[in-house]
Amino acid sequence: MLLVVRHLTHMRYPAGAASVALRLKLFPQSFEGQRVIDWHVEVEGEEITRTTVDGYGERFAQWLSRGRHDELEIVARGRVETEDRAGVVKGMRRACPPAVCLRETPLTEADEMILGLGDGLEPGDNALAGLHALSARVRDALPYRGGVTTSATAAAAALAGEGGVCQDHAHIFIAAARARNVPARYVAGYLLAGDEADQQFESHAWAEAYIDGLGWVGFDIANGMCPTDHYVRLGSGLDANDAAPVRGVVTGGGPGIVSADVRIARGEGDIEAIQQQQQQQ
């Protein structure tokens, strides 16, 4: 499937920012089941051409400005060809050993409730069935409900609350898997929602776990499935902070207000042209 993506991030600084430093993890890579045809990232109209490869084998860029800013606009856009591989991720650039993804973070600490969700899960060749069962238990335990949690909500706090979103599902799954000695990582990306959907307006998150003999396998806990050709994998990390598409440090002027708009559609050409054509049909 050919997917066209545009991801716009708008950062506003009401009191003005004296300097801004950004880490941009907005560069999807090609692997079996995902081929990046073309991809461009711009900050304030300036295309980012220099990138570095991190410990996960994924590209990122750094952007620094010492001039005053009241707002910033970051745009990532491109075309990606995808294929359904039942969530199995192969052919990616070599990276750190899977055991690195056993590290616990403040967002993925496992309490007794999370440990209970992982009952029966064991590392090794037979972990796949246990991970599918874990995914289902996490989804049943945490109703999907927006506006209840924030980006700073830890896995245990989300599970003890009244619901959560895809980030929370992924963090709980990751915490439970790591507690059973199964490496797991957080994935940020995009999802074309549903067979009949033409576009959607949010980024998405899921988890990947490492299975001996098979490699990394994705689990979209929020939707109860493994990633298909409707998904574009953007980047990964130990948790949502580590995998965040945009992170920044600001000096002077106080914290910024960040908003994002994601458009994804099937087809060829510019995302705006595709949307106009769809509206006319």
Q: Which residues of 200-215 are buried (b: 16+ CB within 10 A; e: fewer)?
A: beebbbbbbbbbeeee
Identify whether the C-beta of residue 57 lies closer than 8 Å to the C-beta of residue 90. no
pTM above 0.95, yes or no: no
Residue 263, SS3 per DSSP: strand
Q: What is the DSSP letter of 144?
A: B
Q: Supply the pLDDT for residue 202.
A: 65
Residue 66, SS3 per DSSP: coil
Q: Supply the pLDDT for residue 197.
A: 46
Q: Supply the pLDDT for residue 148.
A: 94
The CATH number of the structural domain formed by 2-280 is 3.10.620.30
Distance CA 205, CA 43 (A): 23
Q: Supply the pLDDT for residue 78.
A: 97
Can you give the residue ranges of every domain in the chain?
2-280
Residue 268's Cα: distance from chain center in Å? 24
Q: Supply the pLDDT for residue 248.
A: 87
Tens of pLDDT along the chain (281 residues) come to 999 999 999 998 887 888 889 999 999 999 999 999 999 999 999 999 999 999 999 999 999 988 888 899 999 999 999 999 999 999 998 889 999 999 999 999 999 999 999 998 888 778 999 999 999 999 999 999 999 999 999 999 999 998 999 999 999 999 999 999 999 999 999 999 855 444 455 689 999 999 999 999 999 999 999 999 999 999 999 999 999 999 988 887 667 788 999 999 998 766 665 555 544 44
Q: What is the DSSP letter of 274?
A: H
Instruction: Name, in order, each residue with C-beta under 8 angstroms of 165's C-beta and a sequence gap of 6 or more.
Output: 144, 145, 146, 148, 149, 222
